[in-house]
Amino acid sequence: MDASKKIQAALMMIGFLSLTACGSNLSSAILPDDPTNESQNIANEDGGSTAEPSESEPIASDLSSQEAVLAKFDYIDPSRLVPNKHLKAALLYFDANKSKVKNVSYLSVIDYGQHSSKKRFYVIDMKTGSVWSMRVAHGKGSDSDHNGYLEKFSNVSGSNATSNGFMKSAEIYSGSHGMSLRLDGLSSTNTKVRSRAIVIHGADYVQESNVVQGRSWGCPAVAMENRTKLINMIKDGSIIYATK
């Protein structure tokens, strides 16, 4: 190998090692938490009256009936981004309760079983089947070590934790984080999301990069760059399924 080729090879190796080091530093970064806590936020956001969960229609229990329902949605998520078991559960619930759903244009799945550095908030366009995915924070009370993994859900006021189950989006308002979207619980596991002021909002402690996201006090907070588009898409009665 002549001198010029040796120099070129050496430069390529240095570049590779630099990228590897940068990638390592990036993925190990931890973003700061929301500085507030749940009790402060309830006062700041004025969650309003507590909405009782609406009674959902029974979901088809036998396999053949479920397969018939899911066959209607075989165009959904062609790139297979949404974890299959969560997508099936969301579609079955959506189909059973569609007559009572105000915003049928979008269906969302949040897979809190994934690390917070992953794009785990999935917004499904029910007309085209396409999926938009983004990163989302979980609550301080759900991740005691701030390692990016959700340990537990809670429906308890003051827990600073994330709640799971089916929810529906409600009204837009301007709160301490600016443009925000209220949520109402539809499952027994999330009856207090409105009274706890658990809302969708943008936050500087969430970024679209491979890092441990900052923790909220239970809100599914997203990056500021995604906030307005997301809220305008799923406002006014869209179904959101939060699970693990």
pLDDT digits (tens, 9 = 90+) for 2-19: 544 443 444 333 333 333
E-strand ranges in 79-164 read 106-111, 121-125, 131-134
Res 35: pLDDT: 87
Mean pLDDT (the chain, rounded): 88
Which segments of 28-125 does DSSP mark as H helices, in order? Answer: 38-45, 63-71, 84-97
State the pTM of this model: 0.85
Cα–Cα distance, 130 to 125 (Å, whole number): 5
**pLDDT band for position 51 (50/70/90)?**
low
Burial class (CB in 10 A: 0-12, 13-18, 19+), 120: buried
Q: Which amino acid is at 80?
A: R
Percent of the chain with pLDDT over 90: 77
Residue 229 pLDDT greater than 90, yes or no:
yes
**pLDDT band for position 116 (50/70/90)?**
very high
Res 41: pLDDT: 67
Residue 162 pLDDT greater than 60, yes or no:
yes
Strand partners, 240: 108, 167
Res 43: pLDDT: 63
What is the side-by-side order of every strand in the sheet holding 199-203?
A: 131-134, 121-125, 106-111, 239-243, 165-175, 178-185, 199-203, 222-223
SS3 label, residue 42? helix
- Lowest average pLDDT, out of 32-36, 88-92, 153-157, goes to 32-36
Compare 134 and 45 and report the one with higher pLDDT: 134
Res 20: pLDDT: 36
SS3 label, residue 35? coil
DSSP 8-state symbol, 148: S
| Average pLDDT value for residue range 225-238 | 98
Cα–Cα distance, 19 to 16 (Å, whole number): 5
> What is the tens place of the pLDDT at every residue in 96-107?
999 999 999 999
Cα–Cα distance, 106 to 127 (Å, whole number): 8
Cα–Cα distance, 8 to 18 (Å, whole number): 15
**pLDDT band for position 55 (50/70/90)?**
low
**pLDDT band for position 52 (50/70/90)?**
low
Res 90: pLDDT: 98
Whether residue 77 contacts residue 131, with contact meaning beta carbons closer than 8 Å, is answered with yes
Residue 61 pLDDT greater than 50, yes or no:
yes
- Pull the structure tokens for residue 23: 């990638």
User: If residue 174 lies in a helix (H) or strand (E), which one and from where to where?
Assistant: strand 165-175
Residue 144 pLDDT greater than 60, yes or no:
yes
Cα–Cα distance, 55 to 185 (Å, whole number): 11
Which segments of the chain does DSSP mark as H helices, in order? Answer: 3-27, 38-45, 63-71, 84-97, 224-234
Residues 172-185 as b/e (b if ≥16 CB within 10 A, e otherwise) read: beebebebbbbbbb
| Average pLDDT value for residue range 209-219 | 98
Compare 56 and 83 and report the one with higher pLDDT: 83
Compare 40 and 147 and report the one with higher pLDDT: 147
